Structure 1
Amino acid sequence: MDLNRFSQQISDAAGDTTRSIPPVDKWDPEFCGNMNMTIKLDGSWHYEDSPVGRQSLVRLFSSVIKKEDDNYFLVTPVEKLGIVVEDVPFLVTQWEEDDDSIVFTTNVGDRFTLSSNHPIELRNPPKALGAPDSTPIPYVCVRTNLWARINQNVYYQLVEHAQRRHKNGRQQLYVTSEYEPFVIGELAE
């Protein structure tokens, strides 16, 4: 696998080097095999067991990630290469309020507003994170079928910002964005 060639295909398909996201959902190239690339639990990218040090390269690759069933791929219009993702491909590392909205930023620079198009879902995290088995944590949809885990420091900040309500015998912590409530945690009553 030639990373430079693959990177050039992505750049050519995107048309420029800005942060636009190519239309990977419309690309359906032939599967070319697996690439020795892993996105670790901490959100770092590794190629052949070495960290990818150039953030610009990580951002470029993150713009062409695609999930089909339970498998992740990096795609161009002419190639599809399998990669390993230990949990999800992104981490939410920052948040801010903007009027009546919450705006998240991921570890690769994606910015999006928490909304019905980018909802939060509580999931059980991988055991390697060390969370108790029965404690779901919040994940948020970044792009089609691609999710981010909300990083612990961001989660604690959101908890400070959250409101409480009682629903179905549970106490829910929720935040509001675009006038819609999003549950970030639940506690037994």
Structure 2
Amino acid sequence: MSVTKQGETKADPDSADGSALAGLIARAGSFRGPAPVHLWNPAHCGAIDIRIDRAGTWHHEGRPILREALVRLFSTVLRREADGGYVLVTPAEKLDIRVDDVPFLAVEMAVETSEGRQNLVFRTNVGDVVTVDAEHPLRVAEAGEGEGLVPYVRVRGGLDARLARPLVHELADHFEQRGAEIGVVSGGQFFVLGQVSEGPANDGAELSGGAVSA
């Protein structure tokens, strides 16, 4: 099986038959935790038929990859390129993959206090644990008409996680209003998530853009 810049690989994620995907698995398997992908500049070897859907599920050739260990392994060699694309990269090769939204999903949230400061901590579906701070900011984006605002957190190296729906409701419990802005505090920073809007039809205030949702 070959990989070209025009084509895509054809391989079973569970195979070990010398295919491009099996080779990638073997090489990536030497890493524990995120690999130093920012240091690598291998040749571009084309595209591989791997897609991460909006729910954070990884697919190969249209089928979900069910082995959690394999998904976590791939996540350690995932990199976002300057043009916004995503690649799986090792010191020897670089392969394009498709990402529908962002690659990760935040699935658990904890609130900790350190030295009198509140910290919001998220765990992703691939095992990253990240504290919201200046290097790992929280942001919101418009999800579409009627869907409100969707929160994201920076995980590492330009890779973001979208907050799962239950976490959005947990996050709302920690909203603060400062002037016309609504946001949350973490890591000594105030992260603005929306603006207060008032009108004749409103008795109070609400987030502009609609309710926060995922």
- 176, 179, 185: which is aligned to 2:188? 179
2-side partners of 1:132 and 1:187: how far apart? 18
Correspondence 1:78 to 2:87? no
1:35 to 23, 48, 68: 48
Query: What amino acid sits opposite 1:71 in the alignment?
Result: G
Measured after TM superposition, the shift of residue 187 of structure 1 is 4.1
1:113-155 deviation line (CA, Å, top 9, x unaligned): 1000000122223x5xxx537x332211111111111111101
The correspondence of residues 109-188 of structure 1 with structure 2, limited to 5 A, is 109-125=127-143, 127=144, 132=146, 135-167=148-180, 172-188=181-197
Mark the runs of 5 or more structure 2 residues left unpaired by the alignment. Answer: 1-8, 10-18, 199-214
Q: Normalized per residue, which structure has more helix?
A: 1
Q: How many residues align?
A: 175
Amino-acid identity (%): 37
Cα distance in 1 for residues equivalent to 2:136 and 2:93? 28
Q: Which amino acid aligns with 1:151?
A: A
SS in 1 for 2:29: helix
Please report how far the alpha carbon of residue 9 of structure 1 lies from its aligned counterpart in structure 2 after TM superposition: 0.6
TM-score computed with the length of structure 1 as normaliser: 0.86
Contact 1:71 1:82 in 2 (8 A): yes
Larger Rg: 2
Contact 1:159–1:173 (CA under 8 A) maintained in structure 2: no
What are the ranges of 5 or more consecutive residues in structure 1 without an aligned counterpart? none
Partner secondary structure for residue 162 of structure 2:
strand
* Cα shift at 1:96: 0.2
1:26 aligns with 2:39: yes
Q: CA RMSD in A?
A: 1.6
Q: Displacement of 1:107 after TM fit?
A: 1.0
Amino acid in the other structure paired with 2:111 = E
Contact 1:21 1:63 in 2 (8 A): yes
For residues 57 and 186 of structure 1, the distance between their equivalents in structure 2, rounded to whole angstroms, comes to 41
Runs of 4+ more than 6 Å apart: none
